[in-house]
Amino acid sequence: MPVTYDPSMIARVSTIHIYPIKSCAPWTRDEAVVEPRGLAGDRRWMIADAQGRFLTARQHPRLTLVRAEPNGEALVLNAPGSLSLTLRPPASGPRIEATVWKNVVQARTADAAADDWISRFLGLPARFVHMDAECVRPVSPDYGRPGDEVSFADGYPLLLISQAALDQLNAKLARAVPMLRFRPSLVVTGTLPHAEDGWKHIRVGAVEFDVVKPCTRCVFTTVDFERGEFDPSGEPLRTLTTYRRTPKGVTFGQNLIPRGTGVVRVGDAVEILAAA
């Protein structure tokens, strides 16, 4: 795939998304605090099975219907057919071994009422686990530096996608899909399609990021998050395989690792400090 990087174009942040609970609905903001493990409040909660292994919308698409609205340090959860629930981060109590992909971390557990709420919604034994400051998950050493960490996100602190990449994809589809099928942290405008593939180091506002790895896409992109069901057409993954396939899989968007902390805002310019 050719890199479409045009240094004369000015990229800007158009949307910022935080996902308070892994695989659940997003919280869209005008600004967000960047921390070493990602945007503040992003995927610090995860849903796990009885053995502590992570559950995602790849297997349980109804998770995308769970909406979390921050209320101080707590989250107010709502889901179809369920009463509202306030999920509070545990200040103390037991930790369990929680597994997300190949990583095992010592996460804190929620109370029994919260676990009952999510178990009833999914129709199987499940529990909430929380990543506090002492719960550390390293980034893969293949792409990160010693000390780099990540939340319960799949592998990297942030994901950036150009709006032009989605526009190009939607021009190929019979029915357009929204950007949220791809779960970005930052969406940028003012670029050519997939311009981010040609970036190596960027500054957004006052925060610098390494652009470390293309995001490999999976069946999650076929979940219609407004219905909590898989799209029977298999789109957009089916079409992406026709022009975004690489030896490592179908890619769409780029993973970022912060090289500082600060605030990013909608409208911030994206400065390309180094090209790939």
Structure confidence by residue, pLDDT tens digits, 182-210: 999 999 999 999 999 999 999 999 999 99
Can you give the pLDDT at residue 92? 81
Confirm whether pTM is higher than 0.75. yes
**Could you tell me which residues come within 8 angstroms of residue 50 by beta carbon, excluding any fewer than 6 positions away?**
125, 126, 127
Can you give the pLDDT at residue 94? 83
What is the set of domains in the chain, with CATH numbers?
11-275 (2.40.33.20)
Task: With beta carbons less than 8 A apart as the criterion, state whether 253 and 244 touch.
Answer: no
**pLDDT digits over 133-163, tens only?**
999 999 999 999 999 999 999 999 999 999 9
For the chain, which ranges sit under pLDDT 70?
Answer: 1-8
Amino acid, single-letter form, for residue 40:
A
The C-alpha atoms of residue 95 and residue 113 are separated, in whole angstroms, by 17
E strand or H helix at 165 = helix 163-172
Among all chains, which residue has been given the structure tokens 């000390």? Answer: 147
Residue 116 CA: distances (Å) to CA of 40, 106, 125, 128, 159? 27, 21, 8, 10, 32
Residue 95 DSSP SS3: strand
Can you give the pLDDT at residue 91? 82
Can you give the pLDDT at residue 111? 92
Can you give the pLDDT at residue 9? 73
Amino acid, single-letter form, for residue 203:
R
Can you give the pLDDT at residue 6? 61
Closest C-alpha to 255, from 168, 164, 178, 140 = 140
Can you give the pLDDT at residue 90? 87
Task: With beta carbons less than 8 A apart as the criterion, state whether 201 and 209 touch.
Answer: yes
**Token pair in block for residue 224:** 């219609």
The C-alpha atoms of residue 39 and residue 36 are separated, in whole angstroms, by 8
Task: With beta carbons less than 8 A apart as the criterion, state whether 184 and 160 touch.
Answer: yes
